[in-house]
């Protein structure tokens, strides 16, 4: 039996990065801020592999930034983001380097996303801040992180949006990042 895998989605046109870099005070790494999934040490093999594949913020950037003394954290290597875990680890590394939700909102804007900062406080959650960035597919199948498998087939035939988010707890510690698709 012969299986043919056809991917119906492709990378979007990448955003042009111009202007000054976003300031940061350190480059996050597994040693300085270990990768966390919803505030906990990852237990899924895919998360553990991705944390090793992307050991620091610099490893997530395009080739020209890899050896820079002060790399531009806006210049993420989107072409190497093959899985949700890839982008989630890289966002975790970059966002810890940038440090604040406001600077991360600026990062989202430079990636061509429409970001919002949301403050949450209720009896279950002790004040946290979330930055969410959304990108409606400009062309059928274009995404920053192309979906794989059945998601590729489904998204290739309908309208959808790509969403990215990051959340900080009340102490300002980054606790969660995510990447997802929303079907319209």
144, part of any domain: yes
Name the least confident of 6-20, 44-58, 114-128, 166-180.
6-20
pLDDT of residue 115: 87
118, part of any domain: yes
4, part of any domain: no
Residue 121: give the domain boundaries.
36-66+75-183
88, part of any domain: yes
H helical segments located in the chain: 45-53, 84-98, 101-110, 150-155
CA 160 from centroid of its chain's CA atoms: 18
CA 2 – CA 23 distance, rounded (Å):
51
Closest CA to 93 of 102, 83, 82, 104: 104
CA 55 – CA 79 distance, rounded (Å):
18
**pLDDT tens by residue, 9-44:** 444 556 788 899 999 989 999 999 999 998 889 999
Q: How many domains does the chain have?
A: 1
User: Position of tokens 């035939």?
Assistant: 157
82, part of any domain: yes
**pLDDT tens by residue, 110-152:** 988 888 888 776 656 555 888 888 877 655 445 665 555 555 5
9, part of any domain: no
pLDDT of residue 43: 92
pLDDT of residue 148: 57
């Amino acid at each position: 039996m012969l299986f043919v895998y056809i991917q119906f989605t492709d990378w979007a046109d990448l955003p042009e990065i111009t202007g000054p870099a976003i300031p940061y005070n350190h480059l996050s790494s597994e040693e300085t801020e270990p990768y966390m999934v919803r505030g906990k040490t990852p237990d899924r093999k895919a998360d553990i592999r991705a944390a090793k594949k992307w050991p620091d913020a610099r490893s997530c950037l395009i080739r020209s930034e890899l050896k820079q003394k002060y790399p531009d954290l806006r210049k993420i290597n989107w072409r190497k983001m093959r899985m949700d875990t890839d982008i989630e680890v890289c966002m975790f590394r970059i966002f810890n380097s940038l440090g604040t939700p406001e600077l991360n909102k600026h990062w989202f804007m430079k990636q061509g996303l429409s970001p919002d900062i949301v403050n949450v406080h209720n009896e279950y959650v002790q004040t946290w801040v979330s930055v969410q960035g959304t990108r409606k597919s400009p062309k059928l199948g274009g995404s920053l992180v192309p979906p794989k498998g059945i998601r590729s087939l489904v998204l290739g035939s309908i309208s959808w949006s790509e969403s990215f988010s990051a959340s900080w707890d009340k102490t300002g510690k980054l606790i969660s990042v995510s990447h997802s698709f929303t079907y319209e």
